[in-house]
Chain A
């Protein structure tokens, strides 16, 4: 609902997720956008009707840790980001190893 994004460094993502979980937030979604320099990840967290958006800037080939051990539902979004965008997400609780989507066109999409 809002256009404000809190910028978080890739290496601080688990700390941030844990802090939000303790504050009573749930994970709403995670998504990636391809940029000229790499990727922009947007993680959305909700508490009642409130939304908090976290943005992470990644360089090409820069890995990021999974938050699926903090928010179990994250495994779906993270496998999607890995398959469709080629983002290296480490330690996903249920890692489909690139077999989450079975597409006729080779992924990640360029």
Chain B
């Protein structure tokens, strides 16, 4: 007869420098149930609508997370711009699209490095993060920041990216693509990598949909739901197809993210080639105030993020609510943990690409 025990996993553990706690119910070495606990570092950022006006809330939104800060600023601005019926200039839309893809590349490269580190492939981890440094250099050139960018504003962007810099970006993308080809090979071909990922943590399409899963985690279960297909920013003028895999396991999640890296490079190139001339900022007058409510959706690197804004015609809005992709992915994580080997728990937690900072907004 098997022995049943409960192992507390976290909130501090080696796989992730962010606090998430799981009570793992084990029968011998098999996990039979996982009960999640979050809320160790809840910051109450949404509550700051009481103290910060709707322009200042862009900075608050950006500070939800250090990896997807650009997207959080964009999602919030998109919601407010819809409420105020503002038409952002075309160049700003293309630049927002390009920077969103740069953010996706930065996030996916970070995750690939962490995954390599989790299964003990140190040189691969370092190489992934070396490439990520090139991406951060591009962010620094474009925005002046490497973590918090402060380039988004309601009505457009705070600064333009000159055409000369865009040309330079195109060359840098070639170099990043070469590096990516080199690091993708072990992820796709290495036997040790496959042993840790293939067939581990199966999430069926039916479960993925029922549990409200988002992002590459969802698309690796064969569901082609990518919010970029709704055509926000300039995605309606870009040619791309959602990347999916039907294998539904941890390897499929890795495969989807690597292919999305190539896709992001392609989208960035399209943005640079199609970049319209003109202004990047629609000046919002001091007496223009939002009144109404809107739910914006964007595809963050980790999946669909929702930004609900309710405004009342004053400079202080009633509500900003951000539903981050990791929050949506926790129920599916709990589902894939049930039935796995205890030794696979760290890898499975990692394959959803969790961001507890986002979750604890």
Q: Please give the residue numbers on chain A whose beta carbons come within 8 Å of chain B beta carbons, in ascending order.
A: 1-3, 5, 26-29, 31, 33, 40, 42, 44, 48-49, 51, 53, 71-73, 75-76, 83, 94, 96, 99-103, 105, 109
Contact = CB atoms under 8 A, between A and B. Distances in A.
Contacts of A28: 212, 304, 306, 323, 328
A1 B296 contact: yes
A33 B311 CA distance: 11
A49 B209 contact: no
B47 interface: yes
Contacts of B297: 1, 51
Interface of B: 35, 37-40, 42, 44, 47, 82, 209-212, 225, 227, 229-230, 292-297, 304, 306, 308, 310, 318-319, 321, 323, 327-328, 330-332
Contacts of A42: 295, 308, 321
Given A3-B292, A53-B295, A102 B40 contact: yes
A3 B44 contact: no
20 contacts: A1-B295, A1-B297, A3-B293, A26-B212, A27-B212, A28-B304, A29-B323, A33-B310, A33-B321, A40-B310, A42-B295, A49-B225, A49-B227, A51-B295, A73-B211, A73-B331, A99-B39, A100-B37, A103-B39, A105-B44
Chain B interface mostly: mixed
A54 B338 CA distance: 32
A100 B318 CA distance: 24
Nearest to A40: B310
A44 B296 CA distance: 11
Greatest chain B CB density within 10 A among A29, A51, A76, A109 is at A29
Contact of B47 (A29, A40, A109): A109
Contact of B328 (A33, A49, A73, A99): A73
Contacts of A76: 327, 330-331
